[in-house]
Each structure stands twice: as structure tokens, then as C-alpha cells.
A and B are shown apart, each in its own frame.
Chain A
Amino acid sequence: MNDSDKLMEQCSDYIDGNLSPEACREFEQYLMNTPETQETIYRMQMIRDSLNNLPQVQTSPDFEIRLHEKIRTMGSVKSFRYSSRYFADWKVPAVGFAVVFVLVSFFVFYPQSSGDVNITAPRESGFSPNFSGQERVLMAPKTVDAAAASVKHPAVVDDSTQRQKNKDQLKKNIKLVNESSSGN
């Protein structure tokens, strides 16, 4: 880049008054020697002034109203986009699957556990006392609640005589078992 090019680079600085005093004097000396550059500088000043004085435009009267409307629309569109995206997201199907799994598990496993809770009547064996049907019923409550109730309020409405009868029957059974084993 030669000296004239460097000086041409300073045209705007000269017009804007940004040159140092020494650089300004050097530039003005250059201008005196180049009339074409003087014309260029003068036209650049006119251009700058014309641009600075261009008519100012103003926004339309409903500018802010339209802006507020767009902001409101933007908010509703954003929520719609959020909800549609939410349903397409992996979280909702995963949560749905988890809920279905819990429900299915509940209905599958619950009947078995309720069966485990029930208290069945003890099996009859040769060593078990040979109670009468009524006593068996009384001795084998069908539910836990009934068993708990029998502890507090025995279903067997017996007195000491009934208990004595039971003891006698038990002794007879034991005796029978001993006789049969000694016979073998």
C-alpha cells in the first residue's frame, strides 16, 4: 500500500475529526496537492450529512398492540408445543407401563396371598383326637378373625363337664393306640 492509499484510508478520520494535529496537517498538505482528493473529501462530507439528515420513520400506531398479541400467541403456542411434546416423550409411556404393571401384579398375586391368609381346618390323623363334628367345627375356625374371637370368646360353649369328656376320650384313644402297637 503506497502513501496515497494510506492517506485515503484516513479520509473518514479526517472528516470525523479523529486525526491527531500532526496527522491532520499532513493530510491537509496532501489535499492541497491533490484536487481530486479534495472533491472526494467534500462529497464524503456531504454524504455523511445527507445520511445524518435522512427522514426519520416511526413505527405504526398499533405496533405495541401487535407485539403484545404476538407475545400472547407465543405463550399459547409454546404451551401447546410443550404438551404435545410431553405426550411424545418417553416419560409418559414409561409411567403408563409402570402403572399397568403394578395393577396387573396386584390382581395376579393378591388372590394367592389371600389364600395363604386363610386358616384351614387341621387334617385328620390317627393321632388326632376324635372330636365330634360339632366340636371339630368349633375347634377349626374358618378365618383369622374368628380364631382370634374364639380365643377371647370361645365358640365352644362348654363347661367343665365337656372338658372332662374330651379328656376321657383322649385317654381312650391313647389306650387304643398302645394296645394296637403292642399287638404288632
Chain B
Amino acid sequence: MKKPTEKVTDEILIARFQQGDLQAFDTLVRRYKDQLLNYVYRFVGNRVDAEDIIQETFLRVFKNKHYYKEIAKFSTWVYTIAGNLAKTELRRRKRRKFFSVSNFVNDERDYDIPDLDRNPEQEVDGAIKEAYIQKAIDKLPPKFKEVILLRDVQGFAYEEISQILNIPLGTVKSRVNRGRLKLQEDLKFLLEGEIKHNS
């Protein structure tokens, strides 16, 4: 996901906000709320929880604005906060053993996941496919999940991911590779069906 070029950079806006310009804060909220929601929503798998986490993220930005230093990009800072809150939520929900497929689609229908042993050649609805992909993402360990989401869903470069997560560049590449390998293994049935369908 490419970030649109803006006339006023994020760093200028946060500097204005640090000096008391609340409209600059509102601009930053409008600029980042949806992309942060996409990241956290895919991370925790629940739309309501994801919005609460994004609200808390911006609350922390508001309270701790003076802690931001222009050493790193604002996007790095805000994604770090959101990611940490998402991981905290996952740790808190570790005892929960259920999830709802309906959380992964935008409409109100409930979905039953077909038996994985069934014929993979059957056509799958785009929403069902999305649910399977989300289920596979949920199965990933958090350290693989976060790099996969930042790289393949949010479109960040490896260097940016390294700064957001504060891990070496080589580690980012290694985790992206292993995350993709794990996903393609879990979604083999789905992808083989698409391959046959396309051929």
C-alpha cells in the first residue's frame, strides 16, 4: 500500500502538534486511521478490538507527543505503538479458544468453513478465501505475523520494517521468508485449486 505524497509531511504536522496545533493532530488521525486499522485488524482478527486499539494508539500519540523526536519517521513511531498494543491484546486473549469467521468479512452473513479434506477444486467465494487467509495469518507466530502484515499488506520496505520492529534487516528478511513459506504450506489446498482453475 503506497502512501500518498502529501504537501505537508507527517514530521511537520507532529511538530505543529507539539506546539499546540490540534488541527495538525486531526490531520494525522485522518491520514493514518484507516491504514492502521487494516494492519491491526489483520493482526488481531477482530474489527471492534482493532478500532479500540487504534483509538488507544492515537490517545497515546496525543498524551505523549513530546516523546516523539525527529530521529525516526512519524509512521515508524505510530506503527510501533499500534503493533505493541495489538501484541498486548493477543497476549491478553491467549486464553480464548474461539474466533468468528464473520469478523473477517464485511457483511452480516455467518460462514461455515468447509471441511479441509473436501475437494479443493470447488470454487470458493472471495469472502471465504479471505477468511481462510485470515485464519492462516492467525496461526502464524506473532513475530512472523507482524512482518508479513507490514510487508505484504501494508507495503513497507524492509528497512522501514526493521525500524518499526527494532530488529536487524536480516532478521526481517528471514522472518518474511519463513512467514510466506508457512502461509503457502497452510493454504496449499486453496492455492492449488486456484492454480487448476486458472489453468
A interface residue numbers (CB < 8 A to B): 8-13, 15, 40, 42-44, 46-48, 50-52, 54-60, 63-64, 66-67, 70-71, 74
Contacts and interface: CB of A to CB of B under 8 A. Distances in A.
Contacts of B47: 57
A47 B178 CA distance: 13
Contacts of A51: 133, 148-149, 152-153
B130 A46 contact: no
Contact of B55 (A43, A44, A67): A67
Name A's interface SS. Answer: helix
B153 A63 contact: no
A51 B137 CA distance: 10
A8 B153 CA distance: 22
A56 B176 contact: no
18 contacts: A10-B177, A12-B177, A12-B180, A13-B177, A42-B195, A43-B191, A46-B191, A46-B194, A48-B180, A51-B148, A54-B130, A56-B1, A57-B47, A59-B37, A63-B54, A67-B55, A67-B59, A71-B62
Contacts of A64: 26, 29-30, 33
Given A43-B188, A44-B180, A58 B62 contact: no
A59 B59 contact: no
Contact of B177 (A11, A50, A56, A74): A11
Given A46-B191, A50-B133, A67-B55, 20 more contacts: A11-B180, A12-B176, A12-B180, A40-B181, A42-B195, A44-B183, A46-B194, A46-B195, A47-B191, A51-B133, A57-B34, A57-B37, A57-B106, A63-B33, A63-B51, A64-B33, A67-B29, A70-B59, A71-B62, A74-B59
A55 B106 contact: yes
Contacts of B181: 8, 11, 40, 44
Interface of B: 1, 26, 29-30, 33-34, 37-38, 41-42, 47, 50-51, 54-55, 58-59, 62-63, 106, 129-130, 133, 148-149, 152-153, 155, 173-174, 176-177, 180-181, 183-184, 187-188, 191, 194-195
Contacts of A11: 177, 180-181
Nearest to A51: B152
A66 B155 CA distance: 29
A57 B50 CA distance: 11
A47 B187 contact: yes
A44 B51 contact: no
B130 A56 contact: no
A67 B25 CA distance: 11
A63 B183 CA distance: 33
A47 B188 CA distance: 10
B112 to A, nearest CB: 20
Centre residue among B30, B133, B177 by max chain A CB count within 10 A = B177
A60 B37 CA distance: 10
